[in-house]
Chain A
Amino acid sequence: MIIVNCKKIVGGSGEGPAIVTTQPINFLAMVDAKTGRITDQKHELYDKSLKGAVLVFPYAVGSSVGAYAIFSLKEYGDAPSAVVCTKADITTASGCAIADIPVVDLPDGAPAIKQGAITRVEADSGVIRVKV
């Protein structure tokens, strides 16, 4: 078990397999809210499902309505259980705040979270627990 300190952005806890990318995500253009899958063929997470995962990514880019796309994911039951950002942005923070998805920021130099590792995010305590 690796314990990673983090900063709470949106409170709560969530657990699931880590889906990790270094590429930003445009929630409006790249994610199908009805299935939770990444639809952009150019993205390294193409066709992966966010449902129940702990999404580890840098930040969101793209349209201001991306926040609603995140909310839609939750309404359709396909949302990630938690989100870990390098630097949480306004779209991610606001969408997850309304959708009750915990969000944390990783500090510089935090250990890498392995693709698929079972990860538990405890935003209120500022801790991520990663099963090795």
Chain B
Amino acid sequence: MELSRDEEDALAGRKGEAIASAYRILVAIGEATGASRLVPVKWAHVSGVNYNTIGDAGAQFLDKFSRNAKVAVKTTVNPMGYDRSHQEDIPSKFQEKQSSIVSSYERMGVTPSFTCTPYEVFDIPEEGSMVSFAESNAAVFSNSLLGLKTNKESALSALASSVTGKAPLSDLRLEDARAPKVGIKVDFKFESELDYGLLGYFAGKMVKDSSVAFDIPKPSTIEAKALSAAIGTSGSCGMFTLGDTKEKISFGKKEAEAVMDELSTADDGDVITLGSPQLGMNELDLLAKATGGKKFDRRCMIFCSRAIHNQAAKVGLTGKLEKAGAEFMCDSCTCLTPYVTKEKYDSVVSNSIKGAYYLNNSNKVKVALRDIRTIAEDYAK
């Protein structure tokens, strides 16, 4: 990969150690992806905010890094571990470490978005814009439906982009990788967003390329979010298109059931957790309508961004759902949240494939998978 004189200087440490390490990251990922050069990006979305995802080593790294670097482009950040206005029994050590991480990012000048759906909260740049998104559901959604160009960045590569304003020109930033060679031949009746999650998880597992095609009509936003999050969870695929390809892999009832068998590991759950990705206005609307005037018979935690919460509050949507007994947890999401531990809960009810994967494997809590409408029908009485 070729670097400009300015970039060489930065790599050599002439702009400080933090920028040098950012360029070391960009050079490494550039070599890995066969990039010819670096290009400017308009927006970086950084993951690695929840203390449970980066741990003490990560928190210490960010503390040091943030004292020597500021963001060079608009930078938004992923959810943290919990909602600071709902501390509950979150251990004080977790709170301190989480606070340190938040301070580090704020010191760098990020937009304190704490959302995994920045595409639902912020203005979208024009089609064709280069961005650097670490949150996999956001990378897939933005590549596939918004015409933005990003690779499935790691937390560190997006961080590197945030302070340099650059990313390697490779893979999904180039048209060749964006045109899928393999497609999924879908022989399945979709009944909910959960079904799109099953398809996405299957596709991510089966397709090693950066992009995949689905021979299905355009999904709704709720369906596309579920599809994107699931694709991002199971493999390296970072984009889908809608259409046909020569080489096809079949997805039908059998394949869907196999994913359900893997991820739906309980018949029922002690608590309902909705997120992964954080809920948007569409999901909140759907949930409110499906709940009717009834009340949830168990704790129902709705994870959404503070921005969406504010929007929903203005139209009375949060009030409706709170009346049904739901609780809003802002700035956080299901994946690796300290709200959900195996000490507190044996199993949870979730509508998210991505959520189910991490709840099962990382939180070590079983999951009863149901779509949003079924959750409302089964548990609101």
Contact = CB atoms under 8 A, between A and B. Distances in A.
Interface stretch (A4-12, A14-22, A45-53, A106-114): A4-12
Interface residues of A, number: 35
B380 interface: no
A130 interface: no
Centre residue among B53, B54, B156, B233 by max chain A CB count within 10 A: B156
Contact of A90 (B27, B32, B57, B60): B32
B236 interface: yes
Contacts of A10: 24, 28
A121 interface: no
Contacts of B361: 29
Centre residue among A28, A59, A68, A75 by max chain B CB count within 10 A: A68
A44 B21 CA distance: 34
Given A29-B361, A94-B160, A71 B58 contact: yes
B235 A61 contact: yes
A57 B24 CA distance: 22
Interface string A77-104: 0000000000111111111111000010
Contact of B156 (A28, A29, A94, A105): A94
A38 interface: no
A72 interface: yes
A29 to B, nearest CB: 5
Interface in B296-331: none
B100 interface: no
Nearest to A105: B32
Contacts of A89: 32, 236
B116 to A, nearest CB: 11
Nearest to B361: A29
Centre residue among B25, B28, B29 by max chain A CB count within 10 A: B28
A63 B28 contact: no
A9 B34 CA distance: 10
B47 A65 contact: yes
A67 interface: yes
A63 B163 CA distance: 21
B247 interface: no
B158 interface: yes
A105 B234 CA distance: 23
Contacts of B24: 10, 97-98
Interface stretch (B146-154, B220-228, B343-351): B146-154
Given A64-B153, A89-B32, A98 B47 contact: no
B362 A33 contact: no
B61 interface: yes
Contacts of A74: 57
Contact of B55 (A8, A67, A68): A68
Contacts of B25: 93-94, 97-98
Contact of A68 (B151, B156, B160, B362): B156
B57 A93 contact: no
Given A97-B24, A98-B21, A68 B155 contact: yes
A64 B58 contact: no
A66 interface: yes
B55 A94 contact: no
B29 A93 contact: yes
B211 interface: no
A65 B49 CA distance: 9
B29 A68 contact: no
Contact of B48 (A59, A68, A93): A68
B187 interface: no
Interface in B105-154: 134-136, 151-154
A7 B156 contact: no
Contacts of B152: 64, 90
Given A9-B28, A29-B358, A64-B47, 4 more contacts: A63-B53, A66-B154, A90-B32, A94-B157
10 contacts: A29-B362, A64-B47, A64-B135, A71-B58, A71-B156, A72-B55, A89-B236, A90-B29, A94-B160, A97-B24
Interface of A: 7-10, 28-29, 33, 59, 61-68, 71-72, 74-76, 87-98, 103, 105
